[in-house]
Amino acid sequence: MMGISGFEPTFLVGLGAVRKEHGPGLAALAGRRLTGFAIVCFAEDGDWFADCPVVLDFDGVQAEICHWKLDELSIGWNSIDMTAAISGWEWFELTPAWSSADERLEPFVGQELREVALLEWRPSGHDLADGSVAVEFVFDAGRFHISNALDENSIDLGDAHPEFVRHRLDFGAQPDQVASG
């Protein structure tokens, strides 16, 4: 999908589905260091192509987060090959390529992950994003979350919007319970 080698997303809808499928794997990341990340940018201007997955490497465990449509979230594990060129975009005027440059994520590299939470959008009034799920990563020096920006990813620093309901994940999971594919 999207010409990204190894990227075969399984999009889920709703907190229950995401927690059931990925809660233990996300929780098991606690205590690991963020050793790297990758996003897709356009080679010509360096702009982020937010439709593509955000890849976070925690001491060799790769979490691949991608939002789609208004409420769908895919979390993959160790499947994307970032050494392979992104293909199939020859018709497009810009060239997507992997990048490890992002001023929002760079300060977290090398830090130990303290906590992971799922954030559920529950606005006071109904809107199209109602029930969408974001993933929050908490470090000593701060936090960021990857959320749905209505059919693409958004990376936001600091506390989440107050209309997100925060669901802390159980840290009883062992590192070997992280999904591998």
Q: What is the C-alpha to C-alpha distance for residues 119 and 66, in angstroms, rounded to an integer?
A: 15
Identify the pLDDT of residue 171. 58
- Name the pairing type of β-strands 96-99 and 72-77: unpaired
* Residues forming beta bridges with residue 98, ordered by sequence position: 40
> How many domains would you assign to the chain?
1
* Conformational region of residue 142, where left means phi above 0, alpha means psi within -120 to 50, and beta covers everything else: left
What SS3 string covers 69-123?
Answer: CCCEEEEEECCCCCCCCCCCCCCCCCCEEEECCCCCCHHHCCCEEEEEEEEEECC
Do the domain assignments include residue 48? yes
Q: Is 1 within a domain?
A: no
Mean pLDDT, each 10-residue run in order, the chain (181 residues): 92 97 97 98 96 97 96 97 92 93 97 97 86 96 95 96 92 43 34
The DSSP symbol for 173 reads: -
Q: Is residue 181 part of a domain?
A: no
**pLDDT at residue 150, rounded to an integer:** 86
Separation in Å, CA 107 to CA 56, 100, 112: 13, 12, 12
- Residue 178 falls inside a structural domain: no
DSSP 18-67: HHHHHHHHHHTTTT-BEEEEEEEEETTT--B-TTSPEEEEETTEEEEEEE
Residue 6 falls inside a structural domain:
no
Q: Calculate the alpha carbon distances from 15 to 1, 21, 39 in Å.
A: 24, 10, 24
Residue 104 lies in a domain: yes
- Asked whether the beta carbons of 54 and 37 are under 8 A apart, the reply is yes
Residue 177 in any domain: the answer is no
State which residues form the domain around 137: 12-172
Give the integer Cα–Cα distance in Å for 93 and 95. Answer: 7
In a domain, residue 147? The reply is: yes
Task: Give the pLDDT of residue 168.
Answer: 93
Dihedral sign from CA coordinates of 91, 82, 28, 111: negative
